[in-house]
Every structure is written in structure tokens, then in C-alpha cells.
Amino acid sequence: MSAIPLLPQVEAFLKRSHQLFIDGGYVPSTSSQTLDVIDPATGVVISRVADASQADIDQAVASANRGFQVWSQTAPAARASVLLKLADLLERHREELAQIETCQSGKIIQISRMFEVDMAASFLRYYAGWATKISGQTITPSLPSFAGERYTAFTLREPVGVVVGIVPWNFASMIAIWKLGSALATGCSIIIKPSEFTPLTILRIAELAVEAGLPAGALNVLTGGGMVGKALIEHPGTDKVSFTGSVPTGIAVGKSAMDAKLTRATLELGGKNSAAFLRDMDLDKAVNGVIEAGFLHSGQICAAAERFFVHRSQLEAMTEKLAERLATLKIGSPLDEATQFGPLTNKQHQAKLGQFFAQARAENSTIVCGGKVIDGPGCYVEPTVIIANSINDTLLNEETFGPVATFFPYDDEEQLLQLMNNTPYGLSASLWTNDLSKALRMVPQIEAGTVWVNMHTLLDPAVPFGGVKASGVGREFGDAFIDDYTELKSVMIRY
């Protein structure tokens, strides 16, 4: 097999001189600064986007406030209809969007199609369904009645206002859709600030949103670096930030939000997620489980597992079998449909993985396979399996966000739970066993926002997702997002 040819419309889109998407269309930036977008498979600059200035930010925020006035007054059913149309348009432009995404992120084309387009469309449809179902309560207060007066009360769910959606590079379309779907379903307007590494697909999605009937200003896209995100959060004209990214940036975002004006903040951060295999697990199934948990999208998934706990008696057999399976993965161009393992998304990240490999060697960890950066213009690293020496080893504690499975043995289930919880993070975890009764007794003792049993990584719009401990604040999906995107207003009436 060889790389699929790019569609003519993708070639044309990449060649464009990209501007900012404000007020329903493109406007030139007042800044002369641009950011290169680099194809991580080849190292070639494929496009350039604007690096928004303060004047651009002011313009986008003013537009988003006008957009909010219109969109928040749009009937819920009409809001749902626009989101449903946008989902249809994503699917109609499936190949185009998937190719743009693969070119900017190095994600293998099958994952771009399935997650960045198909899953994104299903999330949008889910949020569309909520637009007509957001409701308050009626309450009877117990206040004293001196002259026969009576009381009633009700609550209203009101959209918070202008949301700033800050998106990382690992799922640039799908995560942007999570944020704009939540905001638009609840009647908020939103300004998306994509990652500086992957700013392209959301610009095309914004065009499709206008085609779907979204009014001007309800969705703006400002490309630029982290400082654009910070300025948006601190801007007096924004009301909430929904951030997805790393823990250190999340802490900075939380501080900016609180210091500036108590801006509402939802923080979906990284972690160091565990997958634990109980002794009854068949080894072949367990190896498939490790690949699902740790190697999808070259490990660049916030919920992916990076710490793998296996009973001491099975450690050697399991890691050897895993290394054999990883050796069969076809590494190559993400535009080749036969490729199973693509590049990392940028050179900085590849260099970080190189440092982690050096650290593992310095700590005398056992490198069962991989452990090397692959030379060349692309951002490839080898799929890697490591056995840590001690629970304090760096690779068992710091998020690599790469294709690195670090193993550690346990002797009994009490120790296993301690090992799993021995981390400041708590985004996700998985238990692998045929003994569901044992699994269900262990689940409440695991400190994580999501615990999977016999599966890992897969998200569903109906199931809330978010972190405990240092992995974040707030939840996306399910009905949990409504709390984050609306303010609860109480109305009391004496009659």
C-alpha cells in the first residue's frame, strides 16, 4: 500500500493564506506574525496561520458577545437543528476533514476518519439532543406566612455567556467539537483557540458551522500561541474557560481564570493512568488490552494507560508477548491506510520522548523493546515497553504522552490498589479480569474519574468524563456538562 492522494480541496485549503475566523467569516489579523503548520510525518511546512494580536482578541470577544445575544435567544429546537446540520456536514466532508487532520497532526488516516470526524459528529448529535432538555426545578419554600401569603420558587438554567475553548493538539477536531457542542447546546457563544501545532481543521469546521446556519459570532476561531488563550481568559468580555491540555498549563489557566475575574473554569488535564491485569486474565487478551490502552494514536491520548500492573508471576511472559506483537505493527506514513503506527505530532514532543528514554536508561529500567527516537525528518519514535525498577522511577510517575508502556509487578490485590492510587493524578484507570464480582468491589477504591473494566480509552458522549485529583476540575459529556455551561438562577415569588 502507499499513501492516499490528497483531495484537490485539501491541497487548496492547505495553500490558503489563513486568516482568523471572526463574525461568521475570515478577517485578516492585525498582527504580521504567523505560525508554521508542520506535517509531523515529513517535517515539511504545509501551511501558515495567523498569530492573533490583542486587537484581534478584542474584535473576536466583541463579536462573541453580539453572537451570544442572538444565539442565547434562539429557540432550543432551532439550536439543536443547527448542531444536527453541522454533524451532517462533518460527515459529508469526512474525507476532506480527515485528510487535513492527518496532515497537521500525523494521526493515521483511519483514526482521523473514525475519531476526528465520525465520533465528533456523534458527539454533536448527542449535544443537539440536550438543547431541548435543559430545565430547572420548581420548589416550595418553607417561609413563614403571617397574613396568608404564600411562596413558590423555581430555578432557571441560563447560559454562562461567552466561552473560551482551549484545545490541545492530540484530537484537534473532536475536542473542539466537545467544547463547541456543549457551549452551543446550552446557548453560549464560543471562541475556540486551537493548539498552535494543529490549528487548521477547526477553521474549516467553522466555515461548515456557518453553512449549517450558525449566526455570526456564535463561533469564532482565533489561532495563535498560549498567550492568546491567556488573554482570552483574562478578557473582561469572556465568562468561562473550558480548557483541555497538560497539568502545568491547566494550573496556569486555573490561576489566570481565578485571578482575573473568577472566570468559570473547566479543566480537563493529563494524568498517569493505570491499567491493572488480574491473575485470571488470558495473556493474549491482556496483550490486546495493553495495545488498546497504551498505543492507540501512538499513546497521545489523555486517557491512555502508561502504568501497567501485572502479577509478578506473569510479568516476563506478558512483556515478551507484547514486544513480539509491537514488532509486527506497520510504522509508516499516516496517509497510508495500511499504517498502524504513525509519528508523534511535533518535534518538541519527539525530543521529550527521547529525554524520557534516556532517563529510563539512567535509572537502569529494563527496556524490553523500543526506547529510541527514529532518525529522520518525521517525528517517529519506537513503540516501547519498559519494566521499572522501583515505584519511584520517572517513567512510572510522569506523563510521557507517547507510545511507552511501563510495567511494574504486584504480589496481591491490596498492594495493587495502593500502586494504582500512588499518583497525584486521577483521570482514568482500567481493570482487566474475568471476575466481575472482584472488579466491582475494587472499582470504588480506585481514585480516577473513569474506571474501565476489560476496556480502556473509549469514550461515549452519554458517559461523563473528567479527572479527579490533579487531573482536572469538572466533567464533560452526559448531563454533567450542563452544570459547567449554565448558571443556576433562583426565582422566588410571594403571592
Q: Which DSSP category does 212 fall into?
A: T
Q: Which position among 68, 401, 410, 477 is part of the footprint of ligand NAD (CB under 6 A)?
A: 401
Does position 167 interact with ligand NAD (CB under 6 A)? The reply is yes
Q: How far is the CB of 140 from ligand NAD (least distance, A)?
A: 40
- Which span sits near ligand NAD by CB under 6 A: 66-74, 103-111, 160-168, 322-330? 160-168
Q: Which DSSP category does 465 fall into?
A: B
Does position 166 interact with ligand NAD (CB under 6 A)? The reply is yes
Q: What is the per-residue DSSP string for 365-399? A: -EEEE---BPPSSS--B--EEEE-SSTT-GGGTS-
Q: Which position among 18, 107, 230, 240 is part of the footprint of ligand NAD (CB under 6 A)?
A: 230
Active site residues: 268, 302
- Residue 204: all three cell numbers together: 474549516
The whole-angstrom separation of Cα 391 and Cα 388 is: 7
- Which span sits near ligand NAD by CB under 6 A: 129-137, 250-258, 276-284, 387-395? 250-258
Q: Which position among 13, 21, 127, 169 is part of the footprint of ligand NAD (CB under 6 A)?
A: 169
Does position 245 interact with ligand NAD (CB under 6 A)? The reply is yes
Q: Which DSSP category does 118 fall into?
A: I
Q: What is the per-residue DSSP string for 318-354? A: HHHHHHHHHHTS-B--TTBTT-SB---S-HHHHHHHH
The whole-angstrom separation of Cα 310 and Cα 385 is: 13
Which CB atom, from 249 or from 430, has the smaller least distance to ligand NAD? Answer: 249
How many residues bind ligand NAD, per CB under 6 A?
Answer: 28
Which CB atom, from 339 or from 471, has the smaller least distance to ligand NAD? Answer: 471
Which CB atom, from 247 or from 386, has the smaller least distance to ligand NAD? Answer: 247
Residue with cell 454533536: 124
* CA–centroid distance for 156 within its chain: 30
300 CB contacts (<8 Å, ≥6 apart)?
170, 344, 345, 349, 401, 402
- Stretch 297-326 residues interacting with ligand NAD (CB under 6 A): 302
Does position 225 interact with ligand NAD (CB under 6 A)? The reply is yes
Q: How far is the CB of 301 from ligand NAD (least distance, A)?
A: 7
Does position 408 interact with ligand NAD (CB under 6 A)? The reply is no
Which CB atom, from 357 or from 465, has the smaller least distance to ligand NAD? Answer: 465
Site string for ligand NAD, 463-492 (x = CB under 6 A): ----x----x--------------------
Does position 249 interact with ligand NAD (CB under 6 A)? The reply is yes
* CA–centroid distance for 476 within its chain: 10
- Which span sits near ligand NAD by CB under 6 A: 26-34, 105-113, 249-257, 286-294? 249-257
Which CB atom, from 40 or from 472, has the smaller least distance to ligand NAD? Answer: 472
The whole-angstrom separation of Cα 296 and Cα 405 is: 12
Sign of CA dihedral 244, 71, 255, 428: negative
Please report, for residues 14, 74, 97, 106, 494, the alpha-carbon distance to residue 8 in angstroms, rounded to integers and kept in the order given.
Answer: 10, 37, 12, 19, 66
Which CB atom, from 249 or from 319, has the smaller least distance to ligand NAD? Answer: 249
> Phi and psi at residue 144, in whole multiples of 5°?
-70, 145
Contact 3, 333 (CB under 8 A): yes
Does position 193 interact with ligand NAD (CB under 6 A)? The reply is yes
- Residue 453: all three cell numbers together: 473494566
Residues that bind ligand NAD (CB under 6 A): 166-170, 193, 195-196, 225-226, 229-230, 244-246, 249, 252-253, 256, 268-270, 302, 399, 401, 427, 467, 472
